[in-house]
Amino acid sequence: MMGSYIAALTAFIVVNAGNFPFQIPQFIIWLGPTVILVPLSLYWSKPYK
């Protein structure tokens, strides 16, 4: 479930990156949601193991 959220958020950011009032490098746009949300997902799922 979290993987699909990360994919949808990444797609939303990539499609709308041209509308941002500032420039962000492309690799940060593509990898940012993964780098931020995967560790959070691992942290949140730890109590359920």
Q: What is the pLDDT of residue 24?
A: 86
- Quick check: pTM over 0.85? no
Residues contacting 14, CB < 8 A, separation 6+? 29, 30
Q: What is the pLDDT of residue 16?
A: 92
CA–CA separation, 2 and 22 (whole Å): 28
**Other CB atoms within 10 Å distance of the CB of residue 33:** 20
Give the model's pLDDT for residue 1.
84
Question: What would the pLDDT profile of 1-49 be if each residue is shown by its tens digit?
Answer: 889 999 999 999 999 988 888 888 899 999 999 999 999 999 999 998 7
Give the pLDDT score at 22.
Answer: 86
